[in-house]
Chains A and B, each alone.
Chain A
């Protein structure tokens, strides 16, 4: 009996390729999750083209653009952190992860002010104003709150992942010989970015 080690000991079954494959498959499911929403969006926009176009003027393109730039830069910083890890530059990895987290936070702050502005004008899910909107406007703002809200949840999940990774890089649990977690968190962050790249034109840039 003594000869038997505990099964599934952390390193005994380590398989980075499997971990990455698993993450890619999970990302498929996330894309399909939002895919369902894109279908709903397409159907309702097709049915209410005028209302959707007019409603989008209520959104600030500037705010959306700033957030798009923030996310694109954060995708770059997370990619740099992985390159830095491959070059065994722990300090740079941590710096870049820190900047990514900071940018994510700025994104959420922007989002807070954007949503807050809407709320101040009485425009929030379940409000009297929203209930009295015409059907097309109602659908546009329902989708707007739901899709950007769900995206914000994904931002928060991504931030948690990146924060855990940052701590593990610091303690050395994630290092230049073993950084699947860093790569997977990075992949997830790119996904969050990718979804926003679709949300931005769909809501802010309708013509």
Chain B
């Protein structure tokens, strides 16, 4: 290092020692990169726990009759699986991990606008997780309502609903604060020269997401508070026995929970939008169209909640209006798919694991999207409502969309985050197995739903047996793929490799920083004089 003696040594975020050292240094950090990793490790833990629950449920469904658990256990398990995956993994998901780690770097800032609030959001997330999970061990048994807590059952069941709902409320608060932080950060901390239309598209997707988090989450917050009040104080809001209206609960719940789907998927789309131009080695096609479509999804997505309630009792006018709006929201999603594929056209494609993840994402996301149209049109929805078809659809969107994007983004940004190189061959094999397992697990469920297999039962009629075997075996293949992927990354995490600042030849600002980035990201705040993807 003799030739570097005159340059000042800047510690990277992993080795930097602030006021506190070691673990305490991590737990008191306000560095957005470290907070991103705090989210990453906690979220991966919950995700893997959720996967195990899913595998257990699929094992139960391998053949008719009781295999390893009874009805009540199964009800508790699908509730916990939903709570864990939805509230602890996919809703914070891509935004909290990669948003925290990369948003300030992508816009050329040292950190988010409110670093301490950012750390507090993580603590609220952990507190919410603990309260949600405590519902399993305290009170009168695990909640069995499904993650939607539909009234009046959530008011009547003897199980420990209050803890789960309180936890979800706290998690919502954490989500609001993260969204608020990101929106303010993008308004205030863009580097000199970075106009709104020079912002990387991942940042744009976080901007849309931030607004949904701000505008939708309070509605479910107050709804959950009303459920808590109704259970604890016996004051009437939703129980029809005391004049309440359970349909009103469904409206309030979905006013948040449908936009929440876009909280999950928008940052995922944003991450894919970063990966595609880097590996096509070509400027993104239709930058402005993608920006507008992100904001359109955020906006229109606010007005489609009624499509969860086509069979619940709504006027026929509301039904067709919600159906129409649902079809409208498909348009900006399709625009994005067209933009991604158009970017690939005549690109010099560099086939690497992140690229393959992105392509797989587009494939499964399209299956999820098209099956969504089946559910969005009134007549076919009546037939498929509350069947395995719905389960297949939202797993294609939520797991196939957000999950694939999460791992794609991990493979893309891994060298930057950890300054380690993973084995690309093993990564590809892992993805291939994961992809086969994923489709084998969920595709048969479309068929099962169409022939009438209802969701949320631990048992089924013998006529559904064959496809269920296929689906269960698929879940094992998916698990094997997942293990290969994680072990491969974990080994890379430990091994030292050749550390390159820009392994994929990316053009956005994170690739101009060192690997791993220094504490405040840049030695000097960059001045931006061109768009994000100039090849």
Contact = CB atoms under 8 A, between A and B. Distances in A.
Given A1-B11, A13-B110, A138 B214 contact: no
Contact of A126 (B10, B185, B187, B234): B234
A72 to B, nearest CB: 25
Contact of B9 (A1, A25, A28, A48): A1
Interface in A153-170: none
Interface residues of B, number: 49
Given A7-B520, A8-B115, A139-B236, A43 B245 contact: yes
Chain A at the B interface: SS class: helix
Contacts of B255: 36
Contact of B242 (A33, A138, A143): A138
Contact of B113 (A1, A22, A150): A22
Contact of A135 (B225, B242, B520): B242
A36 B222 contact: yes
Contacts, number: 123
Of listed A1, A18, A35, A43, residue having the most chain B CB within 10 A: A18
B184 interface: yes
B215 A18 contact: no
A136 B243 contact: yes
A8 B19 CA distance: 12
B531 interface: no
A29 interface: yes
B127 to A, nearest CB: 18
B236 A142 contact: yes
Contacts of B187: 18, 21
A6 B235 contact: no
Contacts of B528: none
A40 B252 contact: yes
Interface residues of A, number: 44
Interface string A24-55: 01101110111111011001100110000000
A40 B249 CA distance: 9
A21 B226 CA distance: 29
A118 interface: no
Contacts of A34: 222
Given A18-B184, A21-B188, A22-B113, A40 B226 contact: yes
Interface of A: 1, 3-4, 6-8, 13, 15, 17-18, 21-22, 25-26, 28-30, 32-37, 39-40, 43-44, 47-48, 125-126, 130-131, 134-136, 138-139, 141-143, 145-146, 150
Q: Which 8 A-B pairs have CB atoms at the shortest separation, nearest pair first?
A: A135-B243, A142-B235, A125-B233, A36-B222, A32-B218, A33-B218, A126-B234, A18-B188
Interface of B: 8-11, 18-19, 30-31, 110-111, 113-117, 176, 180-181, 183-185, 187-189, 214-215, 217-219, 221-223, 225-226, 229, 233-237, 242-245, 248, 252, 255, 519-520
